[in-house]
Structure 1
Amino acid sequence: MSSCPSLLRPLLAVLLLSCVAPEALAQRVSARDRAAADALVARMDQAESRYRAALVLAANGDPRGADEGNAALEDMEDVIDACVKQRGCPMSDLLASYKRLLKDGIDAGGAGPDEIGDDDELLEADPALATDVPEAVRAARLLGDDNRHVLDRMVRYNPAIQAGIRRWLTDMRPQLMTSYENYQAMRHLMWPEFEKRGLPEALLFGILAKESNGRVHSVSRAGAAGPMQFMPATARRFGLGPDGSGFDTRYDPRSAAEASAAYLNERLRELNNDVELALAGYNGGEGRALRVHRSTGGSGFWNVQAYDQFPPETRDYVPMVIAAAWIYLHPRQFGVTFPKVHAQPAALKLVRPASIYELTVCLGNAGNRDGYMRTLRNLNPRYDAETVIPAGTVLAATARVASLYHRHCEGGPRAELAHALVTADPNAALEGAGPLGTVAVGNVTPVPGVATTVATGRPQPARPRSAQVRTYTVARGDTLGRIAQRHGCNVKQVAAANGLKAPAYALRQGQKLKLVGCSK
């Protein structure tokens, strides 16, 4: 996002600190102090004027708007910091200036142009990319209403949160950056669901980062699935689960965000708006969180009597979610520069059949070190990576991906090369007149041949594939519907053979399935 209102985020931490600072006006003020305080007020007025002018530039698509807005905000930060230390400085007046600035930011929210970073003509973006309210503005709004304690607790800067921040910024920094990149590509799908239900965006990011790193096909050992990691039973309560086609909507980012926001609000209502306890319920069970809340008289998660009743995983989970949310809101405070993500939504229509694997090879990695497989999978969760998608299918993508597809994948040498690489048969590399063996490269299905018995070495006629009962080991992200589609099976027949009950057909990673009546 390049609009100036998004530049308000770095100022929020300073504002929160200044709100609790003692008023310097209560001190005895000398003439020199009064002159210094007046100079700070004048600097704030000038910075406010600069910021208003920057909003106008941004609204007109002038790239100078972002630079001017940044400079003005940095000056305001310096002024507020100096005011806290300056005897006689009228902090209330400076906060009033900031309030006016916030109103301008809200009125102009989303006015700036989207950052595309490519001169190519792109397919029309999804109209759902409506203007939104930057998180800092939303948080500042909460400072003035009855829910201020929710935000205060969410960003509570105690030693447990500090330890969580240290972990995110050391050995877990790669996961933090990956989470940010994945979230930005899905933000237009997920954030509106939290905003509509009055929940902060930073909370969404914190949960997403801790639960799945923003990988929509993530599945836990316990069976929780999707970007927000819903267990099957909880998912059904909030409208998630296998649909008529066999697709598990826990993997759909918009649906998962909607269910997550509804679930959190349900917890907040019964836990007196205690965000930490709501998060503890999200991870450790809503029943446990409610019992702890009642047994401790609503003392809160950080009270030792409440804290000790949660398992170690939950005691780790709560501060880690809040730490990720805190970094998301205040990256500059910790020297964090999040990667620039070209995430403007767009659609691309396949000119030729292709799998997501083939598209990933063809698109390359211009503008993204890791390429675009994760983006395509996250935005199109119904498709397995290896499934060939018919020509004419419209895929959700980003403007960058749509541009690269038009340039490299509709036809031409790179498109042909990508197709050849994805369809390459390793057995074709074997030479000689003897029987062909099987070369294993990654997850390649062996080419069916004529079976032989070990005892005699004589050819044994192979039974038709549909009559064979084979086994399959459930991999991370698998659903019964996908497995059945991949192997040409009937979902109900495979479910019956393996004792799986509708409608969830719950699977666990590593489970052995009998593939009965499958044709592939």
Structure 2
Amino acid sequence: MPIFYRMFFMLALATLTACAGTGTATTRTSPSGKVDESAVNALYSRLDEDSLRFESGLQLAESGDEARAQAEMKAAMDDLQASAATCASTPGCDGNRFASVYDRLLRRSLEFPSVTNPGSTDVVVDEPTRESSEDSPVIASLPAMQRTITLLKGKELADILVTNEAVKAGLEQWLTQYRPNLMTAYVNYQFMRYKMWPEYHKAGLPEALLFGMMAKESGGRVHAVSRSGASGPLQFMPATGLRFGLGSKDGFDQRFDPALSTRANAAYINEQLERLNGNLELVIAAYNGGEGRIGRLAARSGASSFWDPKIYSALPPETRDYVPMVLAAAWLFLHPERYNLEFPSINAHPGRIKLVEPASLAELTVCLGNTGNMYDGWFRTLRNLNPSLDPQKKLAAGTELDAPVQLESAYARQCVSGRWAQLASELNQATASMTPVRSAARNTASSGTYTVRRGDNLAAIARRSGCANTREIAQLNGIRAPQYRIKAGQKLQMPACSKR
């Protein structure tokens, strides 16, 4: 976008910000409570005229008359800026209507690169790199103020200026009570980045969006399971997971695989970007609230922005919170220095450990200790990188494990033999000896049945049972896949431990 248009759009946005809110219509009332209907209707008429004039300018651009096109578009936006300023001080005028029209016109202008960015050429990126400058494709994909930022295949369609009030509130939450969650998510992601980021890169999507969604969904815990049954680092429901290729292989739920779940997430995002006209915020809302609901709301209301009251106010509180929290986490990923935030420096180069002696992931965690100043140990990282493995199960000598490169030498030094290897083995044997006792206690207490509690899901029940998997419980109780629907108060027959 040339400097003229960049300045022009920045000035328009600065004015629109004063008269458009984030979640509710910013309709000003007079001290007497009266609405000046004639003045409001006149402003709305000007808005319609400016919209038509801008469209006429785009038609001129399409016909090749770029000089007249720029003149018409500038005149339309100048008047839109002036009328938006008047709206801010006119009782009864809804500023969101001006912001919504601006958003639509901006996106329409970007369909004509000869006008908005003459002489531009596509740039091929050979390697995925994290960018933190204002030229970052991630920054170009994030929302700013009331406008919707569009994104398709990583192509920059708009410039980022500032975040809106909802996203700012999300920033405060991440920087205060959720700060430990944010830091943990960052560390978890850095170790999994080489598995996850290439899938987004191939799909033409920005890394910050991936981080924002993962931070909000699971905090980078690959084996996270929600109360509703959503699973994995990006929390796919069973049916949606199957739709995007996440099934079961050799008894392993592929929703827990960081690379495969990222590939599925990227496919979902791109599918919904196409379906929702490239509207990133609505796509994020669909990921949380369901594409059916978001699609119906957008079609019924005619609104093009997530922040439009016709959409925003009709969404459940969870989704209204989810979108700005994802965007805020993505923004912090890009610009921690602006918020007095410093992410830890992580040596996340991938490596491999080849077991010399049989060992479980739990044993490796004990003998590795706090190697590399990992204050909470390596259990989560080893599980995240080897999601299909039972952490308590002994793995045969010769088994190769994915692990951060700094653990290669630490394993040889601390886990093959010596006091820490011996300690790890003793503790693991004690845990193994207690497992049948715990399982028997569970079965005796339930007498072969389990009463579903509020918030339960079949995967969590199976995990807690210690002797059954989701499919076994479902088959025994006639529960249909892939949703595995259960309800509070329902009594489930539990498989005997001998079945496993």
**For the superposition of Structure 1 and Structure 2, which TM-score range results when normalised by the shorter chain?**
0.5 to 0.7
Alignment correspondent of 2:228: 222
Alignment correspondent of 1:172: 178
Amino acid at match of 1:497: L
Amino acid at match of 1:402: E
Whether 1:305 and 2:310 are equivalent positions in the alignment is yes
User: What secondary structure is seen at the aligned counterpart in 1 of 2:248?
Assistant: coil
User: What secondary structure is seen at the aligned counterpart in 2 of 1:295?
Assistant: helix
Whether 1:269 and 2:260 are equivalent positions in the alignment is no
Amino acid at match of 2:412: H
Instruction: Note the residue ranges of structure 2 that are not aligned, 5 or more in a row.
Output: 1-5, 12-119, 142-147
Instruction: Note the residue ranges of structure 1 that are not aligned, 5 or more in a row.
Output: 1-16, 23-98, 110-130, 428-442, 452-464
Cα pair distance change 1:471/1:163, threshold 3 Å: same
Whether 1:446 and 2:443 are equivalent positions in the alignment is no
User: What secondary structure is seen at the aligned counterpart in 2 of 1:424?
Assistant: helix
TM score, norm. by length of structure 1: 0.62
Do the aligned residues in 2 keep the contact of 1:362 with 1:418 (CA within 8 Å)? yes
Amino acid at match of 1:176: L
User: What secondary structure is seen at the aligned counterpart in 1 of 2:210?
Assistant: helix
Whether 1:356 and 2:336 are equivalent positions in the alignment is no
CA distance in 2, matches of 1:142, 1:386: 40
Cα pair distance change 1:482/1:306, threshold 3 Å: closer
Match of 1:194 among 184, 190, 200: 200
Alignment correspondent of 1:293: 298
Do the aligned residues in 2 keep the contact of 1:215 with 1:374 (CA within 8 Å)? yes
Q: CA deviation at 1:386?
A: 1.7
Alignment correspondent of 1:496: 475
Q: CA deviation at 1:135?
A: 3.2
Alignment correspondent of 1:515: 495
Amino acid at match of 1:227: P
Q: CA deviation at 1:157?
A: 0.2
Alignment correspondent of 1:369: 375
Alignment correspondent of 2:29: none
CA distance in 2, matches of 1:471, 1:403: 48
CA distance in 2, matches of 1:185, 1:234: 26
Alignment correspondent of 2:395: 389
Match of 1:134 among 130, 133, 149: 130
After TM superposition, the structure 1 = structure 2 runs for residues 73-472 of structure 1, keeping only pairs within 5 Å, are 131-136=127-132, 140=136, 149-150=150-151, 152=158, 157-243=163-249, 245-367=250-372, 368-424=374-430, 444-446=435-437, 470=448
Q: CA deviation at 1:249?
A: 0.2
Q: CA deviation at 1:366?
A: 2.1
Cα pair distance change 1:314/1:301, threshold 3 Å: same
User: What secondary structure is seen at the aligned counterpart in 2 of 1:135?
Assistant: coil
User: What secondary structure is seen at the aligned counterpart in 1 of 2:353?
Assistant: strand
Alignment correspondent of 1:123: none
CA distance in 1, matches of 2:495, 2:405: 40
Do the aligned residues in 1 keep the contact of 2:138 with 2:208 (CA within 8 Å)? no
Please, what is the CA RMSD of the aligned residues?
4.1
Deviations 1:96-136 (A, max 9, x none): xxx9xxx9xx98x8xxxxxxxxxxxxxxxxxxxxx422234
Q: CA deviation at 1:506?
A: 7.2
Do the aligned residues in 2 keep the contact of 1:352 with 1:391 (CA within 8 Å)? yes
Do the aligned residues in 2 keep the contact of 1:186 with 1:379 (CA within 8 Å)? yes
Show structure 1 runs of 4+ deviating over 4 A.
Answer: 17-22, 141-145, 151-156, 468-484, 489-495, 502-513
CA distance in 2, matches of 1:347, 1:509: 44
CA distance in 2, matches of 1:193, 1:448: 40
Choose 313-322 or 264-273, whichever is displaced more. Answer: 264-273
Alignment correspondent of 2:96: none
Do the aligned residues in 1 keep the contact of 2:450 with 2:492 (CA within 8 Å)? yes
Cα pair distance change 1:448/1:315, threshold 3 Å: closer
Identity %: 46
